[in-house]
Structure 1
Amino acid sequence: MDSQSSTDSSTLVSEARNDDRHGGPHKDHAVILLHGLCGSQLEMGSIPKQLKKAGCTVIPLTIDNYSAALTNPRVSPDWEAWCAVVESRVARLKEEFRTVSLCGLSMGATLALAVAARSKDLLSVVLLSPVLQYDGWSVPWYWKLLTVVYDMGFRNWSYKESEPYGIKNYEMRRRVAAALEKDGVAAVGAAAIPARHLRAALRMIAFVRKSLPLVRTDTLIIHSIDDETASPRNAEVILQHINAEVRKVIWLGDCYHIITVDNEREIVTNETVMFIKRSIEIHGNELSRKYLGHSSPLKDRRH
């Protein structure tokens, strides 16, 4: 449900208008930011700042039983409720803005895909280190057994984050480790993810894998070839199975999973902003997405 304890309260659109709306050619575009599972907006790095500089309105969304500050380890979350919060926000923003995009990191990217498969109201989606399978080189061999343990009824446990915390940069990793020890959350997310939240995320992944052909909105994927959490195969599967006419993938070679704060963070930020601006220029200034749904295919097909 679209609960009041999430930051999707009824006052947010007006707050965005007063505080975050910028002038310029992209002032009629809103971007919803989706951090990783049990994480926070710290994960998004400099992307919010640069999107605002580009004239977009930025909506840093937090969600009940998804975001770190709103997580209850004893509650069994529902991934469809996560989607419903995002979809509700998109619908409200569409009343205020001409176009809306989603930008998600890690499981936030998977959540963005789930919404894109269920909605025709999005201009574009940016998928940063999307996860369709936990198959990176640091994932422990016993990972798949955890779901078996959960389904057997043992549910009061958490999956603890460990080195390298999704970050290749040593100095950043050291600071993250200190923040996790002190506060339990850092730029890479939470120190531990409750079993119930992991199970809900896996159910969402199952839906997304089946629903990729329903994704038709402009799509940018940025993924590291050395991602320790989700291998490059995750990005390849998405690229192969979505039906977006405009699609693009960027491969990174000097970072791990949390690409927004690692060695190539500037590339990630710049490519994200440029892709969204280009989608606005192609679609947003002349036509609504409803009209585009009935128009001829775009000539600029990217692979």
Structure 2
Amino acid sequence: MDTLSSTDHPGPVTPPPAEDRQGGPHKEHAVILLHGLCGSQLEMGSIPKQLKKAGCTVIPLNIDNYSAALTNPRVSPNWEEWCAVVESRVARLKEEFRTVSLCGLSMGATLALAVAARSKELLSVVLLSPVLQYDGWSVPWYWKLLTVVYDLGFRNWSYKESEPYGIKNFEMRRRVASALEKDGVAAVGAASIPARHLRAALRMIDYVKQSLPLVRTDTLIIHSIDDETASPRNAEQILQYINAEVRKVVWLGDCYHIITVDNEREIVTNETVMFIRRSIEMHGHEFSRKHLAHASPLKDRRG
């Protein structure tokens, strides 16, 4: 995130993948995937595939005025509407599945935290490069002034992505730059983010910072120590203030912000799948009892 652009219309994007329901040992568990702000499910790398192999049902959620394919730069989105979409999907999935987890990247991780602070229905959350403040080494000095510019009424601008695009791997970065130029979206997200969407995201961040103590679900954080967008302080703040009994952090040393497609992507995928699997194993009996307690009683056929 480095320069301003007057781009008003996002480029063509890859159609979002459909829901993929799986069998296997965790067939009663669903995982909702939340990509970054104005991004796409391309950002999630191999995580969906490996979760499916583990037997989980994967829900690649796309949200109006959050996802690249559904973004109108002239609309002023409300972050609570983003949360409402996720909460509604969680509620519907809980009618079919015994457990539901969230896995989010970048602002998608922040969105997952916002939902976790408001919901008691989640088994676990996986936070990949969560953002509570844009304080990485590549963030320009004028970043904090942009909200002032926005609040003064100048809102028809976009924040343009540029080198290193959140990726340390040079070859991957080259391919991402080509995809952004051609299609306007790539594995790192959109080529630019409208000011209105950034402002909504910053308001969501304010809520999440105040609400961290309300997060009690199992939490995994994976963060790069060299994240150019959000410094390690973001992960440290989350760890310090959430009230989850089970919390884990994995630090990466050879990637930047988009850890799902960078040099240590295999570690990210493996840690994500293992954490969700362990949560299922640890809490499976507890959620089974809850499920039975709320199930309709069998009809008595005696007599």
Q: TM-score, normalised by structure 1?
A: 0.89
Residue identity matched to 1:68: A
**Within 5 Å, which residues of 2 pair with 1:213-232?**
213-232=213-232
Structure 1 residue ranges without an equivalent (≥5): 1-11, 293-303
How many residue pairs align between the two structures? 275
Distance 2:22 2:196 in 1: 39
Check conservation: 1:125, 1:217, Cα contact below 8 A.
yes
Q: Tell me the equivalent position of 2:174.
A: 174
Distance 1:206 1:95, change over 3 A: same
Distance 1:23 1:192 in 2: 38
Distance 2:77 2:34 in 1: 17
Deviation at 1:22, TM superposition (A): 2.1
Deviations 1:146-201 (A, max 9, x none): 00000000000000001000000000000000000000000000000000000000
Deviations 1:20-73 (A, max 9, x none): 222222000000000000000000000000000000000000000000000000
Q: TM-score, normalised by structure 2?
A: 0.89
Check conservation: 2:213, 2:242, Cα contact below 8 A.
yes
Check conservation: 1:120, 1:289, Cα contact below 8 A.
no
Q: Percent identical across equivalent pairs?
A: 89
Residue identity matched to 1:229: T
Residue identity matched to 1:160: K
2:287 matches 1:288: yes
**Deviating runs (4+, > 4 A) in structure 1?**
289-292
Residue identity matched to 1:51: L
**Within 5 Å, which residues of 2 pair with 1:258-277?**
258-277=258-277
Check conservation: 1:123, 1:289, Cα contact below 8 A.
no
Distance 1:231 1:23 in 2: 38
Deviation at 1:142, TM superposition (A): 0.1
Distance 2:289 2:116 in 1: 14
Check conservation: 1:107, 1:201, Cα contact below 8 A.
yes
Q: Tell me the equivalent position of 2:163.
A: 163
1:143 aligned counterpart, secondary structure: coil
Q: Tell me the equivalent position of 1:257.
A: 257
Structure 2 residue ranges without an equivalent (≥5): 1-16, 292-303
Distance 1:290 1:146 in 2: 50
Deviations 1:224-262 (A, max 9, x none): 000000000000000000000000000000000000000
Distance 1:176 1:148 in 2: 31
Residue identity matched to 1:288: F
Residue identity matched to 2:243: N
RMSD: 1.4
